[in-house]
Every structure is written in C-alpha cells, then in structure tokens.
Amino acid sequence: MKTLYVRIIVTTMIIMISSALIAFVISNVYYHYYLKPKNDQKITQIATNIVDIYKHNNNERIENYLGQMTDLGYTFYLVDEAGNETHIGMKFDDESIEHEKVVDVLNGKTYHGIANYPWKLFITGFFSNELKNTVGVPITIDGENHALFVRANTQQQFGEIRKLLAILLVLLLCISFILVLLSTRYIVKPIRTLTEATKKVAGGNYHLKLPVKRQDEIGDLANHFSQMSNSLEKVEEKRQEFVSNVSHEIQSPLTSIQGFSQTLRQENLSENERIQYLEIIEKETKRLSLLSKQLLTLSVLDKDLKTETLLFSLTDQIKEVVLTTQWQWREKEQAIEMELDSANVFGDQKLLHQVWMNLLANAIRYTNPGGTITIKANEDREGVHVVFSDTGIGIESTDLPNLFDRFYKADKSRNRADSSTGLGLAIVKKIIELHDGTIMVESEPGKGSEFRVFLPKP
C-alpha cells in the first residue's frame, strides 16, 4: 500500500523530472527554430564585414589580418582553389566538410553550416567546434578565389547561451508550478470531499457513500469515515428505536393506571373488584418503577464507569442469590441444582450480583412449575465459567441473535411475562463486557435454555 508520504515524494520527483524534460524539449525547439538561424545570420553578417574590410586593405597579408580577428573571439578556416587549407585561431575538433560545400563557396555562394546543423537531442550547436558548424563566404585574395569559413568561439556566444539558460529556467519554474497545482488539486480533492461529508454528517445525514478509492492514508481515512457514518446511522436507528420502546413501555402501564383509576371512581363497584383493580394499579406501578430503575442502570453502565473491583468468592455470591430468590422458585415448586466448585473472581461485587440475579430470575420466570434449574461454576487457568440452565419453554432460534438487545422480547416472552421490560439481559451483557467477559446462549423450544458466562482472570 502506498502511503501519502511516499505518494508526495514520488509526485514531487515526477514533477521535477517531467518539468526538466518538458522545459529542455521546448528550449531545444526554441534553439533550433529561433536561436540557431539567428546565430547563423549574425555570423554571416560578421563574415561578410570581415571580407568587405579586407577588400579595402589589400596590402596586408590575409594571415595577419585574420590573426588579428581571432583576438575578437573568432576562428577561421581558409581554402584556395587548389585545395590548400589554412587554419587561423583555435583548432577545430573536426575539420571534415563536404567537398561540394567548399566548391560552392569558391563559386560565390554562402555556406550556412550553423543554420543547417543537424537536429540532435541535446543542444550541441553552441558547443560543437566543428568545421561544418561554421559560416562560409567567398573571398578574393591576390586575384584568386578562396573560401573563408568563420565560427565564433564559445565565449563569443555567451550572450545567446545565457538567454537560452534563462528561457530554460523560466520554463522549468512555470511547468513545475502548473504540475504542482494539478497534483495538489488531486491530493486535496478527497480531503474536500471528506470535509463536505463531515458537514452532512454533522447535519444528521448519515447516508453517505464517499467516491474515494485510494490506497493511502486518505483512502484509509475515507473508509474509516464511511464506517463511522454507518455506525452513527445504526446508533441513530437504535436511539429512535430505544425512544419508541421506552415510550411504549411507559405508555402501556400509564394507560392501565389511568383506566383503572377512573374505574375506581364508580360507586357501584364491589369490594373484590376494587381490590382487584388496586392490585393491577400496584403491579403496573411496580413495573414502571422497575423500568425506570433499569433505564438508570443502563445509563450508568453506558458511561463505562470505573468498577470497584475486588477479589471475592463467586460461589458464596451465587448461593446468596439462590437464597434471596427462594420464595420465587419454591412457589413454583421448582428444583435448584447447584454444582459450584470453589471459584474466586476479581470484579465489581454489586454489578456481578445483579448478573446472577437477572439470570436466575429469568430462569425461574420462564421455567414451568415443577421444572429444574441448574447452576454450575468452576475456575481454571483462564478464568471463571458459570452456567445457568433450565428446563423451561426455550427460545426460538430466530430470536437468539437479538436476545441481548434492549427492549427486545420474543413473542413467547410477551405472552408468558407481561411484567418483563426487555432490559434485563441487556444489563447482564453490558456488565459482563465491562469485566471483559463473554456471555453465550443455547436454547431449544420446549427443552429449555442455557446461558454460559466467562469472566477472564485479570
């Protein structure tokens, strides 16, 4: 995966190399189409002036005359009709030239070797010290035709070179700026997309799909942002569902209380009916009290409070829970079987007490009279294992995945326990997660359920 750091480095290197190559190509084209013909024209004018000056000064030897011109930064190559060659000034690196070109100059034509110098990848025309990279003009010496080839030394062409380098530098900077702007736009574009998406999420729109598919930190950020948006959407759905469930759970007992309260105002009620209606009101009031208590408990647990952990005997705590609820299971003539090994746990004693109380209360509630509830506990190297199993009516497999959701009730649960709020198992799971533990359930309709709790050692 390419990181943003590597991407920026690679992009910078590509910009530098691309800018240099493009600027060099443009400078090369500029040289061949503009500077080279212009330089040829200037050297041709100088060569023509040298010949004109010599015509008015026939008393001076040509070698001396041209020797004086070399001090001005020029190199000369003189050829007569017999083919005799005379070199004056700096020696050419390559003195080869087509014979036809020399003949043409002897016959009065001008040779434009600089303008016609072959195209090459690199700008070598300024620096190629070759005979064919000169300007040739005819000159008459002592009544004989000669061919005079002239070339300016590199120092003489410094002005043109400086101009070419300035153009190259300007092109390099301009192209670099353009490529930087384009590459920066490419890098910044997904960040702008994320910014706009953040504003939409802040406004409550969680249905977002970011079109960012990159294998770097920005791509990771976009993926994590999408995951966050989906999570917020689910949280919002659960929040709305939670509010709806709370409203429903509160409205139902309030409606009953209101209805039976109005009924109690009637004077023709018998004493038995009055007592029955008061019992219903009392039952609904207890249900509201339990609901508010459980909601408060969940609110506190959701804050990830720091638990008051200490080492205590889990076996003794479970026995205490069984004794506390004995009037409930004895009333239904249920049997409690316990297989409790010596087990100690490090955790919040009050919270875990509520876990065992909720699990046992559910087992009692959903086990038919005369049924059996089994509680097992043992300790190993990894932690403590606790199992609550019953011979109750069981739970449908379609209900198991949602069993620990808040306010979730299976259809059978609604029929068999009107006082259930659907928050007990949600509280159990939250407390166990606060202890870094796990809870699993196995159930089969008509055969009972089994809840397995694991609490790891610290």
Between helix 217-264 and helix 158-202 the angle, nearest 10°, is: 10
| Residue 246 to residue 108: CA distance in whole angstroms | 111
Over range 180-199, report the average pLDDT.
Answer: 77
| Residue 193 to residue 175: CA distance in whole angstroms | 27
Q: Tell me, what amino acid is at 405?
A: D
435 to each of 219, 321, 351, 456, how far by Cα in Å? Answer: 35, 20, 10, 8
In 74-168, which ranges are E strands?
74-80, 85-88, 111-112, 135-141, 144-152
Determine the pLDDT at residue 263: 82
Cβ atoms < 10 Å from Cβ of 100: 7
Asked if 359 and 429 touch (Cβ cutoff 8 Å), the reply is no
pLDDT digits (tens, 9 = 90+) for 42-63: 889 988 998 888 887 766 788 8
Over range 221-240, report the average pLDDT.
Answer: 75
| Residue 74 to residue 152: CA distance in whole angstroms | 4
pLDDT digits (tens, 9 = 90+) for 302-320: 676 666 788 999 999 999 9
Please give the domain boundaries of the chain with CATH numbers for all domains: 4-162 (3.30.450), 206-303 (1.10.287.130), 305-456 (3.30.565.10)
How far is C-alpha 282 from the geometric centre of its chain's CA atoms? 58
| Residue 126 to residue 156: CA distance in whole angstroms | 10
Q: Nearest CA to 361 among 421, 411, 405? A: 421
Which pair of tokens denotes residue 60? 């001076």
| Residue 338 to residue 326: CA distance in whole angstroms | 13
Residue 393 DSSP SS3:
coil
Within 71-157, residue ranges assigned H as helices are 99-106
Determine the pLDDT at residue 204: 73
Q: Is the pLDDT of residue 240 over 80?
A: no
Which of the two residues, 34 and 374, has the higher pLDDT score?
374
pTM surpassing 0.75?
no
Main-chain phi, psi angles of 65, to 5 degrees: -60, -50
Determine the pLDDT at residue 228: 79
Which of the two residues, 67 and 163, has the higher pLDDT score?
67
Which of the two residues, 160 and 281, has the higher pLDDT score?
281
Pairing of strands 335-340, 135-141: unpaired
pLDDT digits (tens, 9 = 90+) for 328-377: 899 999 999 999 988 899 888 888 988 998 899 889 988 999 999 999 99
Q: Nearest CA to 149 among 139, 160, 161? A: 139
pLDDT digits (tens, 9 = 90+) for 390-399: 999 988 888 8
